[in-house]
Structures are given as structure tokens and as C-alpha cells.
Amino acid sequence: MSIGDRFPKVDGPAKADGSGVYADDISFPRILHAKILRSPHANARIRKIDVSGASRYPGVVATLTGDELPVKYGVIPWTQDEQALATDHVRFVGDEVACVAALDERTAEEALALIEVDYEVLPAVLTPEDALAHPEIKVNERAKVGNITKHVNLQFGDVDAEVARATAIASQKYRYAGSTHVPIEPHCAVARADADGNLTVWSSTQIPHYVHRELSRVLGLSASKIRVIQPLLGGAFGGKSDPFALEFCVAKLALKTGRPVKILYTREEVFYAHRGRHPMNMDLTVALDRDGRIAAVDNKILIDGGAYASFGLVTAYYAGQLLTGPYRFGTYRFDSYRMYTNKPPCGPKRGHGSVQPRFAFEVALDEAAEKLGIDPIEVRRRNFIGEQVETVNGQKITSNGFLKCLELVEQASGWKERHGKLGPGRGLGVAGSMYISGTAYPVYPNEMPQSGILVKLDRSGRVTVFSGASDIGQGVNTLLCQIAAEELGCDPHEVTIVAADTDLTPVDLGAYSSRVTFMAGLAAREACQKLAAKLHAAGGSTFAEACQRAEAEEGAPLAAVGGYRTQKLGGDYRGGTIGASPAYSFTAHVAEVSVDEETGIWKVEKIWAAHDCGKALNPSLVEGQIEGSVYMGAAEAQMEEMVYDAKGLLFGPSLLDYRIPTSVDTPDLESYIVESADPNGPYGAKEAGEGPLHPAIPAIANAIHDACGIRIRELPFYPQRVLALLREKASGLRRQASGI
């Protein structure tokens, strides 16, 4: 079994039988358990921290404060604004202040109550509007102007002129609520220092290389003295793509005490760590000409970023740069502000930065098309951008299977026979999207490869692949087995993967931006092809015999390396490389909903999702990614929202209060794989992990309109919001009937 086959996940049995090792499973003799004291205030100066009481508490071995970790960190070099433990300022309820290491968790937790912190409470800004309006209330000193993390204003063509001459215009305000990732596994980190001063950190991270890099900076240790290992991961979805306070705290405490140290976040702490979906307020205009073609798109975006930058610089660009496909825009402008606010920091959640604008755009496109009497699927066909083309903002699209995606969901849903004809309270909606297959521009620019692979052959016929890539459940380790089998002609069961260990594996930048299949896949294929040539030349009746002959001819153990080199892509303007990708995936969804017009209660009955992944290297994994993405999108549409009170306290940081869909709430999902054979991807493959999320939300919104004639523009689509719009519609009809 190799490329294109439904090969089972290589880590499946260990996860199923409980033998797999996650970060919290790691333990050592004399291990200490640490806990972090968190701020009760949204914005306050720290006058004094006194840990003496905690230090004297029986069972406490060490305490830690921010003055011992003064260097600020961040995954993006230009916006390093976080400190592992605050020294002079806390910026949200839950911000980290001090740490205690004790013989057990309970003792550490009890000792936290003995730490005395003298706070000067300050006014807090809790919305991006307030942050913009009150620059004198400084959330983060990193902001050069007021509370602005990043402002991006880009225009392509004369937008105002095209809007003025357009035939149909949809111009409305949209609001997308913030949500979080809810992985099954909380954040966890374990550190141990050996007698030579070498530090090893095991972390439930999806970016071991960046954690390694930042540990070196913050601790002031040579990178050669630090090793970071990612064990099995119980979900991430972008929420573990930052370095976090716990990694620095366990590392420092291990060096300080000479003992292993572990921190396991509670579920409440995971909510404070956050890095979830940015709330966005969008003022969007979509203008169509008389033929239904997109003449202009204009979007003003205000982004709530929380207290720290995280990936916010990128978010401010992604909110605009990733909207320009699968449709051709005549002209385009976006003006985005990413603001600091006194709330937990937002970051990348599946479909980073582009899910929110996609919701607004796909709803507005439907609304404008309706004014021209054009079918929603037809308007999308009419505006198809094509392949081997450039978008209005200079992004190069290679393969493009979007029309096939549209065709599949149109046929499967019975669109032509059923759209607009299901009767009151029942409707169909459609939406499309485009997403990146890895960012062409690395987080920190250099000439080294973004992804490296080392493959070693044993004379027994065993193949070992050393990969820095992070398997976070998406199945990259399984993919590497299949690539080795495809290129070397071996049994994939005879392939061992050594992964995500900074001492043993080549550098890979992490699992984010849907980069792994494309970049690690190409690197693996290159390495395996080098070895395959030697095996072919040596010959042999079995794979093991070929390995032995080739090693004899080589006179040395057989190994080869491969790498993915960064391509120079993107528009020739400031920020033009952000959002540029070596390939883009395309998706189309049709959603069917039912709405009770008496109560506003609605339900997603079914979603048909077709995704162009270039080539399905493992169809089972691709289908799993499509279905997982659709589920997460539908969840955000239905119920997910981070809610805060007037003092910045998160309401209900638990899985009891933060609601996610159960199996009862999950719609029937039908997924379709479209293969467009991208010329740049490994075996023609593109991404499948994030793109399929985008159309779910607007397809549901458009289906609600088909069902009951309302346009819902604020997430989540709570029944009370649906009911309010239904009553507003009924009131308008009554006024119209009475001639008022």
C-alpha cells in the first residue's frame, strides 16, 4: 500500500489501546509539579510580588517570578511582546504572574494562595472599538500607536469608481464572535536537566522548532544545549502553535532545582492560554456589474486581538489577502486593524484569519446576486477565476478544481430541483472558498529549508524516516510511511518514523498554515528518490537484499536527505508575500437547514462538502480532515463564543459552559474529494486540513435565508437572533401591507 491507498494511521493502535505516550504520561523519579498564579484583573500594574509565604509552605521546593525570565518572546520575531511571568503589568484576567513547584499538584495549588501581589487596578478596554477610541488606556507597550497591533490598508484598482457604476450592491456590517479550539488534551510540558546542563523539554506543542528557538532566547542558553520533543498530541487546531508560559516555567525550574518539573494546565487555564479565533467586525461591500461579475469588493475590518500579538501581524494581512479566490475580483480594497484588548490573546485557529471574512463575503455575494435574479451557484460559476492565473492582489493560482467542487455539491444536494422550493422553514445554501498550502514566507526569513527529511536504510530492509514535522492528528507520520513505500518499493509497515525531536530530526517549522503535506511531502519524496536510485542500480531479489548490495557498493550506511526550499512568491508591494502560497486548495459546500419560525430554533440537516486537495495521498485521512473541518465550522455557526463580563472575566471557562456540538448536534456530512493534480505539490497534492472549514458557516447562513427569508450577519446564529430577524421581517411585511 502506498500513495493513493487508504493506509491506516501508524499511530492508531497505540492511541486506541492506551499505550501511546502523551506529555502528561511522562514522569521521572523526584519529579516536581508546578502551578501558575494568574491575574484576577484585566488591566493592572504590579507594585510588588511576595512569594516568601509560598516558599515556606511544606512541600514547596521552588518558586519563580518574572524577574528570573525577563526576556520577552513571541513566535514572530517582530512582535515579541510576552513575558513568561509578568513583572510590572498584567493585561488580562488569567495573565501569568508567578509559579510554584512542589512535591505534588495539590501542594503547589495551595501554595499559590500564599503569594501576595500588590496590584494597582487600571481601566480596561474590552472591545476593539474601545481600544481604538481610547489610545490613552494602554494595553500593551509594544503598540507604537495607541492599541494597534497592526494596521494594513491595501487597494488594487479604483474600487470607488467600480462601486459607483455597479448594477447590484450588497453593503452591510457583519460580526464574527471569538471562539477557541477545545482540544481534548490540555497544554502540558515536562522539563529535565542532566548533569552536563543539557535541558530536555517535552511539550504538547505543534511547533517544537519555534519552542526550541524561544527557549534558547529566553533562558540565555545555547540552542545546542536544549532539546525539545513533541510526544503524541491530543489535538491542537492552531491552539498550540505559540510558545507558552508553561514551557519556560518548567525549563527554568528544572535548571533551578536540578529536578524534573511538570506543568499540566487545567481546562480553565487552557481557556486563558486561548489563541483562538479573532472576533472581527466587518463592514463589507460587494458590487456586481449587470452580468453578475464581481466589479469591486471593499472590506473594513476591526479585529479584537486580545492582550498579546501572537500571530496578529499575520492575521491583519490574512483577513484581506486570502479572500481573492476562487473568484475573480475586478477591484479590491481592505483596511484592517488588529487591536490589543484586555482579554486572553487570540491567535491562529483552523483557517487562520480568513474564515471570518469568508463568511461575510459569501453571504454578501448571495445578497448581491439575488438583486440581479442570478442563482447562487451560477454567480459563483460566472466569477470563477480559473487556473494558472494571478489574483487581483498578485497571488499565483496553479491548479483549481473549484468548478468540479461546485458541480459535485450541486448534484448531490439536488440543488436545481430543491433550492428555493422546499417550502417554509427548509432551505439550501451554498458557499465556496480558497486556502493556502503552506505559507511561502517563513515566520523568520532565511535561506535554509522550511522542512527537512533524513531517510536511513538498514541492511535488514528497515527504513527509518527522521522528520521534524509535527503530527497533531492529521496523519503526517502515516503519509511519510506511504511516501517511503511509494518511492523505495518497500512495505510501509517496515517504515519507522522518528519525529518532532530537535536533537534527532532535521528542522521543520511546525504544523500550521496547512504546510505539512506539501512541504514535508516534497522533502520526503526527494530524499527517498535519492535512495531509490541507489537501490535500483544495486538490484536484488528482495528489498532487504537490495539494501545490502547498495550498502556494499556505497561502502557506508545508506542515508539521504531532502528539503523544501522557500519559493519567492507574492505581489511586489509591502505585505505582498503574506498569504502567498505555492498552491491553493478550493472548496464548495451546500448546507441544508430547517428553521422553526415560531421559536427561531434551527438545525443543520446535512452538509455536502467537496474539496480540491490536488491529489488524495490517503483518501481516508483527507475525508477525515474534510469532515472535521465541516464539524468545526458548523459548531462556530451554531453555538461557540467566548463571552466576557464588564470586568474582563471570561464567562464559564469550562466544557460545561462553553458549548460544543455533541453527536446529537452534528449534521449529516457527505464529503467528496476533487483531484486537480497540482503541478507543484507532492504527487499533485495540496492542503486538506483547513480549507474545508471556510464555506460551512456562510453556506448555513445562506440556507437560513432560503428557508425563511432572513439574512443573518452575526455569529453564532443563536435562535434568539434568528427569531428577532424573523419578527423584524414580519413587522416590515405588516407595514408594507398597511401602506406605512
Predicted confidence (pLDDT) at residue 435 exceeds the cutoff of 90: yes
C-alpha cell at 93: 484576567
Q: What is the pLDDT of residue 100?
A: 98
Q: Is residue 138 part of a domain?
A: no
Q: Is residue 392 part of a domain?
A: yes
Cα separation, 322 vs 354, whole angstroms = 6
Phi first, then psi: what are they for 334, rounded to 5°? -140, 145
Q: Is residue 477 part of a domain?
A: yes
Q: What is the pLDDT of residue 206?
A: 97
Per residue in 616-635, pLDDT (tens digit) is 999 999 999 999 999 999 99
Domain count, the chain: 3
Q: Are residues 466 and 604 in the same domain?
A: no
Q: Is residue 551 part of a domain?
A: yes
Q: Which one of 564, 597, 623 terminates a domain?
A: 564
Neighbours of 7 (CB within 10 A): 22
Q: Are residues 543 and 590 in the same domain?
A: no
How far the first Cα of the chain sits from its last, in Å, is 71
C-alpha cell at 464: 527509518
Radius of gyration over every alpha carbon of the chain, rounded to an integer in angstroms:
26
Q: Are residues 579 and 718 in the same domain?
A: yes
Q: Are residues 90 and 223 in the same domain?
A: yes
Percent of the chain past pLDDT 90, that is, above it, reads 96
Residue 1 — pLDDT band, cuts 50, 70, 90? low
Q: Are strands 199-203 and 226-229 parallel, antiparallel or unpaired?
A: parallel
Q: What is the pLDDT of residue 555?
A: 95
Q: Are residues 596 and 657 in the same domain?
A: yes
Find where cell 493585561 sits.
Answer: 91
Q: Are residues 222 and 298 in the same domain?
A: no
Q: Is residue 252 part of a domain?
A: yes
Q: What is the DSSP letter of 606?
A: E
Q: Are residues 223 and 104 in the same domain?
A: yes
Yes or no: say if 91 and 72 are a contact pair by the CB < 8 Å rule.
Answer: no
Predicted confidence (pLDDT) at residue 48 exceeds the cutoff of 80: yes
Q: Which one of 510, 545, 564 terminates a domain?
A: 564
Per residue in 54-76, pLDDT (tens digit) is 999 999 999 999 999 999 999 99
Neighbours of 333 (CB within 10 A): 21
| E strand intervals along 216-272 | 226-229, 261-264
Average pLDDT over residues 165-186: 98
Residue 566 — pLDDT band, cuts 50, 70, 90? confident
Instruction: Choose the weakest-confidence range: 351-360, 420-429, 508-517.
Output: 508-517
Find where cell 505559507 sits.
Answer: 439
Average pLDDT over residues 84-92: 98
Q: Are residues 480 and 380 in the same domain?
A: no
Q: Are residues 436 and 447 in the same domain?
A: no
C-alpha cell at 188: 502540558
Q: Is residue 361 part of a domain?
A: yes
C-alpha cell at 447: 535561506
Could you give the strand order of the β-sheet that contains 602-612, starting from the edge strand earlier in sequence? 426-436, 584-595, 602-612, 668-674
Average pLDDT over residues 698-703: 98
C-alpha cell at 57: 509552605
Q: Is residue 131 part of a domain?
A: no
- Residues spanned by the domain of 505: 442-564
Could you give the strand order of the β-sheet that contains 168-176, starting from the edge strand earlier in sequence? 148-156, 331-339, 294-304, 280-288, 168-176
Q: Is residue 611 part of a domain?
A: yes
Indicate the Cα dihedral angle 728, 730, 734, 737, nearest 10°.
120
Region of 548 (left: φ > 0; alpha: ψ -120 to 50; beta: rest) is alpha
CATH number of the domain residue 535 falls in: 3.30.365.10
Predicted structure pTM score: 0.97
- Of 51, 92, 54, nearest in space to 68 by CA: 51
Q: Are residues 206 and 291 in the same domain?
A: no
Residues with Cβ within 8 Å of residue 444, at least 6 apart in sequence: 76, 77
Q: What is the pLDDT of residue 657?
A: 95
Average pLDDT over residues 251-267: 98
CATH number of the domain residue 24 falls in: 3.90.1170.50
Predicted confidence (pLDDT) at residue 530 exceeds the cutoff of 90: yes
Q: What is the pLDDT of residue 740?
A: 64
Which SS3 state, helix, strand or coil, does residue 406 take?
helix
Phi first, then psi: what are they for 505, rounded to 5°? -115, 155
Q: Are residues 547 and 585 in the same domain?
A: no
